[in-house]
Amino acid sequence: MSGWQAAAALLGDTRLGAPVAERPRRFALDYSSPNVAKEMHVGHLRSSIIGDAIGGLLRFAGHEVVPHNHLGDWGTPFGMLIEHLIDEGWAGARDPARHTITDLNNFYQAARQKFDADEAFAGRARRRVVLLQGADERALGLWHELVAESTRHFEAVYDLLGIELTGEDIYGESFYNPFLGDAVDELEAKGLTEVSDGAVCVFPPGFTNREGDRLPLIVRKRDGGYGYAVTDLATVRYWTRERGCTDLLYAVGAPQAQHFAMIFEASRHAGWLGEDDSAVHIGFGSIVGADGKTIRTRAGGSVKLAELLTEAIDRAAAIVAERTELDAAERAEVARAVGIGAVKYADLRNDREKDYVFDWDRMLAMDGNTAVYLQYANARILSILRKAGEVPGEGTHVVLREPTERALVLQLLRWPAAVRAVIEGYAPHKLCTYLYDTATAFSAFYENCPILAASTPAEIRSSRLVLAQVTSNSLTLGMSLLGIRAPQRL
Ligand code: ARG
């Protein structure tokens, strides 16, 4: 088989030539991970999008991926949140029609304000935390209500985004509570802890502040309580030991880089990360507005993700409205694919370590490196194939005459190498670049190489249809690995 003939062989290969991992590994993938009783913010949006894409890519490569959503669902604020819930009339008689928290941030802030202003309330809140930590049934019941109510908000966002996290993937901070004591005992038995200022700490070697003082991970506070750091140590221990994971991934914003570096270092010393295990912080920058600051709504308030995503779909609907050949239901489907695709792609196309500017016009532009450009390129190819009416087979003879034709085939044959680089670097932006290059290579080819024109000889027409079909397969597969849908018509 000649090199060019390999292009036709791709027709029958759903992997487009990409191999399956010879030694599949088991990944624990921490992503999304918002906080209970707080609105998800853009950091959680990025984590959700990037985490979901990386999970899909790893599965495609043949690995096992266990997602886990590390909800911030435990700790001292829950005392005041539960008390506020009681004051709001939730306790016992929950009536979802009357009591739904429409704005988690307002709920949180109201609780906080009372806590700061009202001594009696603060006292109640402190007693409630003690009860909660002592597994008091009523406190736990109310806490469950808060978690359920918040999860409802998160799931609305996941649903709009079309990402794969479900309730079963929730392993919040509270999940590790029963393991914390053992984890600390083990650290102490291994001689890795020191008492500093009354708190039990681990000082992973190599981490100091500007003054040169060693930096601690606090494993047990002075008052006997446990916090964020020790929970993450117990998390490593759980996923490697109890769940047999070989690779731990954390899609979490860049500001937590040092936290994770310290957790990984301490876990190596504790023997919770073996020589063949990996732990990687998949860090990312923030999303900023045109002014370089945190993005705001039109009214200037903080952005709610569900509203932002609905706006994306509405804006896409305005674009799709011009496509009169689609019926109303199809237009709604396409608007969703285009709107959500735009938000995801705008996030994924940049090197994730960098900040990026949130810009509606740019992310929804029909030309340029955008999701809708790829979606449109793909729909156009599908329309050519529909018009051609014939489905080329794997045995079709591939004839390459024009340089643009050759360039397109070379690009299509580069898929396995592209996917490898994307996975090795946990770098979805490289897949975006690859897909954009594929779409532009097709467009140059299509300009120079007539497919359906009457003057095109039959043999060449078939060969070109093969290239069109493989290009569409590649764009569709690539977009689906990024979590982006490819409408048949646009
Ligand atoms: N809930 C945290 C936050 O919003 C993120 C948790 C990330 N995962 C972890 N294992 N620490 O900042």
**The pLDDT of residue 474:** 98
Region 379-403: what's the mean pLDDT?
93
Question: Where does the pLDDT of residue 390 fall: very low under 50, low under 70, confident under 90, or very high at 90 and above?
Answer: confident
Atom of ligand 1 nearest to the CA of 259: 11
Region 187-213: what's the mean pLDDT?
96
Question: Where does the pLDDT of residue 222 fall: very low under 50, low under 70, confident under 90, or very high at 90 and above?
Answer: very high
- Cβ atoms 371, 53 nearer than 8 A: no
Q: Alpha carbon of 72 to those of 44, 140, 143, 371: distances in Å?
A: 12, 16, 12, 32
**The pLDDT of residue 294:** 76
Residues 398, 461: Cα–Cα separation, whole Å: 10
Residues 372, 365: Cα–Cα separation, whole Å: 7
**The pLDDT of residue 403:** 97
Region 214-228: what's the mean pLDDT?
93
Q: Ligand 1 center to residue 178 CA distance, Å?
A: 19
How many other β-carbons are positioned within 10 Å of the β-carbon of residue 285? Answer: 17
**pLDDT above 70 as % of the chain:** 96
Across the strands, what pairs with 199?
196
**The pLDDT of residue 47:** 98
Residue 304's closest CA among 141, 160, 146?
160
Question: Where does the pLDDT of residue 303 fall: very low under 50, low under 70, confident under 90, or very high at 90 and above?
Answer: confident
**The pLDDT of residue 164:** 86
Q: Ligand 1 center to residue 278 CA distance, Å?
A: 19
> Is ligand 1 within 6 A of the CB of residue 232?
yes
- pLDDT at 190 > cutoff 60: yes
**The pLDDT of residue 96:** 57
Give 311-335 pLDDT, tens digit per residue. Answer: 999 999 999 998 888 999 999 999 9
- pLDDT at 232 > cutoff 90: yes
- pLDDT at 296 > cutoff 80: no
User: What 3-state class would DSSP assign to 426?
Assistant: coil
Question: Where does the pLDDT of residue 133 fall: very low under 50, low under 70, confident under 90, or very high at 90 and above?
Answer: confident
Question: Where does the pLDDT of residue 371 fall: very low under 50, low under 70, confident under 90, or very high at 90 and above?
Answer: very high
**The pLDDT of residue 4:** 83
Average pLDDT, the chain: 94
Q: Ligand 1 center to residue 35 CA distance, Å?
A: 8
Type of residue at 485: R
Question: Where does the pLDDT of residue 298 fall: very low under 50, low under 70, confident under 90, or very high at 90 and above?
Answer: low
Residues 281, 1: Cα–Cα separation, whole Å: 43
> Is ligand 1 within 6 A of the CB of residue 48?
no
**pLDDT above 90 as % of the chain:** 84
Question: Where does the pLDDT of residue 94 fall: very low under 50, low under 70, confident under 90, or very high at 90 and above?
Answer: low
- pLDDT at 92 > cutoff 60: no
**The pLDDT of residue 392:** 85
- Cβ atoms 230, 184 nearer than 8 A: yes
Q: What are the structural domains of the chain?
A: 3-21+291-481 (1.10.730.10), 76-164 (no CATH)
Residue 288's closest CA among 234, 240, 346?
346
CA neighbours within 13 Å on the CB side: how many for 429?
Answer: 11
Structure tokens at 331: 């237009």
> Is ligand 1 within 6 A of the CB of residue 33?
yes
Question: Where does the pLDDT of residue 257 fall: very low under 50, low under 70, confident under 90, or very high at 90 and above?
Answer: very high
Sheet holding 278-282, edge to edge: 64-68, 26-30, 247-251, 278-282
Q: Alpha carbon of 55 to those of 62, 215, 336, 394: distances in Å?
A: 11, 32, 22, 31
Atom of ligand 1 nearest to the CA of 228: 11
Question: Where does the pLDDT of residue 90 fall: very low under 50, low under 70, confident under 90, or very high at 90 and above?
Answer: confident
Give 415-446 pLDDT, tens digit per residue. Answer: 999 999 999 999 999 999 999 999 999 999 99
112 by Cβ neighbours in 10 Å (0-12 / 13-18 / 19+) ranks as middle
Give nearest CA residue, ligand 1 atom 12: 34
Question: First CA to last CA across the chain, in angstroms?
Answer: 36
The crossing angle, in degrees rounded to 10, of helices 257-270 and 177-189 is 60
**The pLDDT of residue 348:** 98
Give nearest CA residue, ligand 1 atom 11: 232
**The pLDDT of residue 250:** 98
Q: Which residues contact 346 (CB under 8 A, 6 or more apart)?
A: 356, 358, 359, 362, 363, 370, 371
**The pLDDT of residue 324:** 82
- pLDDT at 300 > cutoff 70: no
Question: Where does the pLDDT of residue 309 fall: very low under 50, low under 70, confident under 90, or very high at 90 and above?
Answer: very high
> Is ligand 1 within 6 A of the CB of residue 428?
no
Residue 279's closest CA among 21, 24, 63, 29?
29
Pocket test for ligand 1, best of 44, 70, 232 (most atoms within 8 A of CB): 70
- Cβ atoms 384, 470 nearer than 8 A: no
Region 123-142: what's the mean pLDDT?
92
Region 351-365: what's the mean pLDDT?
95
> Is ligand 1 within 6 A of the CB of residue 72?
yes
